[in-house]
Structure 1
């Protein structure tokens, strides 16, 4: 029988002061948990994108707050040298809210290993295959298993390079496991039309709230939808701060940190800029800020672009939940997809609407930060101008669309892995 994983203290955040952690940290099957913690931290901190770090940590069974602590002055994870002798690593923060845990949470790799009293560093290819089969039996979709295996392979690839393990147990033949990717695979991503995006914007502006912050929350909701209509990943959206809003060549744009630590410039449409300006202005007014929101760089001390009422950064879970609320509020236009909508659906819509509006595929690639397009070479972003972005075409389609009831959603061909 699996161990009580709620007692797996090492997978939850510890208190900030090492001296306060008197009881031995327990990770079933692991002799020196602090050493493994340090190795995990060494791997995660190689990724410049905070969203990537949190996604990988959550997929493996670590709470997002544990990763956030790697970035804060008070959250220090001991190095491997400090933990060889059995020292303890300590990070700040609290346990993740239970409501945010998915149905597959207990099957995340580290928790699955702990339930069997197995040190993850002793895992074999057979263990990984057994884990994948259990995920399949639990109802995990193919794309979910693909992503989880990719995360696991990245982790063990790092341990292999560091000499911690002799080989990567997750380097399996995906085709034989039925996890190979092909362009013909159907994507579960719902297809949103320009009319449905318009309905989301309208519903966001009318989002009900009985507190005195109703106007702030409504404008924030509109800003979230407006920014997602630019084709941003949710990790990119929550990673924005107010210094990300810049002027370049006289045009307002966002400097976005994407996958692989690569920055790209995303032009703000009038639609998105108006939504963002209205939100930041209301936010400053509510907070009684000394200076109003500006269209260029601000001295906001790296304040999050989309913030909680207290001024902290919103998480990807917050954005997902907000988008679902907006979709429900949208009524008939989103009725058939309200329970399945998520930020990637808006990114997907950006690409499809842009191509329907005859945007050049190279421009779309540069807009959304795709690593490759099979039919094109890498697009030199140094040649980009306002005319070489599809953003205005997408915004025009949304503006022109009515809020009539949407047609039944279609299933699109899968985007290449890594989008």
Structure 2
């Protein structure tokens, strides 16, 4: 307890001790967990003492005020949620003991954590990855991986959508809920989340890489169940998401990128770079297949981040570091 903290009453301290003994015996908690419970309840008792109320007379409005104080003091939403969980258990026990009529923590929730920005490559890094040719690699694998990178970055596909593509449209693909490549129209028909379909244009770089891949694809005989799969592995089976992750990580490291790249990073890069160039949030929403534009709006934060860095680097009035 800090020097300026209000003293906890003997009655409240006794209640906390009784509860800690209860959970120690009933739940058989580890010493480390019990110590965390003790710290959280000491914090609760201190808040109550500072507010001039007993633990048994704490109200919902008290708890909400204390949550706001913890949040203002820099406590994370996750940390507050854990503290509230401990407090909620304590008051549930007080209710079972007949010492309170309502749990003051029951409807209190921790502040939401800010949604983390998705990781995206810079334009130069994305081009470096797409243009990389690994002379030490199997040419068949290199052609396939190049086509995958071009589709992931050039079309913003999810990895599940990528591996679900067929080489051409067919009734079988439609019935099975798969997408397909339409080379003639330079587009892919994607079967995405929620059983929704969308059309994604295939750019010049992706089109060229796909043509080069299709020219060598049949060097490995496809298994009957994967006869129409656009991307297959060395055993002739439809490529798995795990294989795409592994191959993309390998390619990014060999291309000299500082960070291993995963499929969703290329989807984020696609969205961020299209938004930087066009500013058209609705178009990006359509291309990504987002049902709610709120999901797409995270890329406006990425775009602003990009602009802020450019400003800091170039503007004579930008705030100097150091």
Q: TM-score w.r.t. structure 2 length?
A: 0.51
Is it true that 1:258 corresponds to 2:192 in the alignment? Answer: yes
Which consecutive residues of structure 2, in runs of 5 or more, have no partner in the other structure? 1-32, 34-76, 79-105, 169-179, 297-309, 311-322
1:368 aligns with 2:293: no
Does residue 268 of the first structure (1) align with residue 202 of the second (2)? Answer: yes
| Residues 147-186 of structure 1: pairs in structure 2 closer than 5 A | 176=109, 180=112, 184-186=114-116
Instruction: Work out which of the two has the higher radius of gyration on C-alpha atoms and give 1 or 2.
Output: 2
Residues 8-407 of structure 1: pairs in structure 2 closer than 5 A: 176=109, 180=112, 184-187=114-117, 189-203=118-132, 205-206=133-134, 208-209=136-137, 214-229=138-153, 230-243=155-168, 244-246=180-182, 251-284=185-218, 286-287=219-220, 303-331=228-256, 334-335=257-258, 337-338=259-260, 341-374=261-294
How far residue 207 of structure 1 moved from its aligned partner, in angstroms, is 5.6
CA distance, structure 1, for counterparts of residue 216 and residue 242 of structure 2: 23
Contact 2:166–2:229 (8 Å) recurs in 1: yes
Q: 2-side partners of 1:305 and 1:202: how far apart? A: 21
Deviations 1:19-45 (A, max 9, x none): xxxxxxxxxxxxxxxxxxxxxxxxxxx
Q: Larger helix proportion, structure 1 or 2?
A: 2
Confirm or deny: 8 A CA contact 2:129 2:251 kept in the other structure. Answer: yes
Partner of 1:415: none
Q: TM-score, normalised by structure 1?
A: 0.39
1-side partners of 2:144 and 2:107: how far apart?
42
d(CA) in 1 for partners of 2:193, 2:254: 32
Cα 1:175–1:354 shift into 2, 3 Å: farther
- Distance (whole Å) between structure 2 residues aligned to residue 174 and residue 263 of structure 1: 40
| Structure with more contact order per residue of length (Cα contacts < 8 Å, sep ≥ 6) | 1
Taking a change above 3 Å as real, the CA distance of residues 174 and 258 of structure 1, as seen in their structure-2 partners, is farther
Verify the 8 A CA contact 1:252 1:267 in the aligned structure 2: yes
3-state SS of the aligned residue for 1:357? helix
Deviation per residue, 1:356-412 (Å, 9 max, x gap): 102421111111101111499xxxxxxxxxxxxxxxxxxxxxxxxxxxxxx9xxxxx
Deviation, 1:280, is 1.1
